Every structure is written in structure tokens, then in C-alpha cells.
Chains A and B, each alone.
Chain A
Amino acid sequence: DAGVIQSPRHEVTEMGQEVTLRCKPISGHNSLFWYRQTMMRGLELLIYFNNNVPIDDSGMPEDRFSAKMPNASFSTLKIQPSEPRDSAVYFCASRSWGSYEQYFGPGTRLTVT
């Protein structure tokens, strides 16, 4: 199994630009999660989906952030417009229904200048 796949691994962009992060969960997993990790705030849940449906987006910081899951094998997290304070490592994770364990991808390191 390839595990959770994220792309790109690194993204450097200028303030005001649109950024799209991509995630392919583990095949057969029903739940998908987007997290953000910073030194100041640690690892925070942004949004999660069950069976491609967004369930809880209370962690999404602002309207500039949006996430979609058009099918069971793909999800995107978009930031438009990006700001320097969005700089962080963004992780995607997936989980099989009924399991405690979340499997994390390698993350996307985003730098907004």
C-alpha cells in the first residue's frame, strides 16, 4: 500500500496567490482529515470528511480556506488569497471506519512570502 499521498511536498508562493494542496487517501478508507502544524499552535484539525461529505469544518481559520472531496480517492485544500501567516506544514490523514488509527501523509510545507 502506498499510504497517504500528498502533493506538492513543498510550495513557496507570494502573498495574494492561490494555493492548492492535494491529497490521495489510502484506498478503502472512509474518512479524510486535513491538519495544519505550526510551532506556535501545534497540530490542529482543519476539516474532516466522512464518505466524501464534509462533517466538521470548524477548524478552518477563515473563508480564504476551502476544502473539497469530489470522490473517495482525492481531496484538495485551497487557500485564496494566501497570506504569510498561512505558512505551515499541512497534513492529510485518512482512516478506515471503526478504526482508531489515522494514517498521515508526509505533509506539504507551505511558505508564503
Chain B
Amino acid sequence: TQLLEQSPQFLSIQEGENLTVYCNSSSVFSSLQWYRQEPGEGPVLLVTVVTGGEVKKLKRLTFQFGDARKDSSLHITAAQPGDTGLYLCATDTGGGNKLTFGTGTQLKVEL
């Protein structure tokens, strides 16, 4: 059983559409991170959320941490081809050092 389940697993949309991806768990987390990984590269941190109900915005990306700190969502407005990549959520499971990653959402934005 995966600690962090992400959905959908794959998403293919047209440029300009909006989308939301989800990261869910039965466990409560002290914090949660979102990464984006482009082909041939390592993951890059987008945001860290630490407070239940917290909402953070990064240009067209909106991140929300659930009130109970068991889930999170990433909403992209007006998607662009540059948003294409693997989106991973992750949480610390080892006192500040041990990241456990979710199953990932592979996003493709087409012209």
C-alpha cells in the first residue's frame, strides 16, 4: 500500500484548459511538498505546505493542504505545454530527512 496516492495517474489536456491533481493518504502529515519532474531531469521543488487549510499560489499553480493534513491538491489554470511533466507529492517520514514520494501524475499539455 502506498503512503501517498496520487490521481489521476495520467492526464492529457489541451493548452488553455484547467486541471486539478490530487495527493491523498490515510495518515496525517506535518508538511507536504510538491515537485515537478521534466523528462531527463531530477524533480524540482515547487512548494511546501505545512498548515492545515493552507493555500499557496505560484503563478498559475494553486496548492492546497487539506484541513486535516491528510491530502493536498494542485490546480493549474490555463495550462501551457511548459507545464508538461511528472508531478510528485512527497512528505517527510523520518524526522526531517526521509522523503516518501507519491505515485505521481504524468501531465501532458498539447497545443
Q: Chain A: residues with CB nearer than 8 A to chain B?
A: 4, 31, 33, 42-45, 48, 50, 55-56, 91, 93, 95, 100-107
Contact = CB atoms under 8 A, between A and B. Distances in A.
Contact of B97 (A42, A48, A91): A48
A100 B98 contact: no
B78 interface: no
Given A42-B101, A48-B97, A106-B40, 6 more contacts: A4-B42, A45-B98, A45-B100, A91-B42, A104-B44, A107-B41
B31 interface: yes
Contacts of B68: none
Dominant secondary structure at the A interface = strand
A43 B41 CA distance: 13
Interface string B59-94: 000000000000000000000000000001000101
Given A42-B103, A42-B104, A101-B48, A107 B42 contact: yes
B21 to A, nearest CB: 15
**Number of chain B interface residues as a range:** 20 to 34
A48 B33 CA distance: 19
A100 B97 CA distance: 8
A104 B43 contact: yes
Given A31-B97, A45-B99, A48-B97, A105 B104 contact: no
Interface of B: 31, 33, 40-45, 48, 88, 92, 94, 97-104
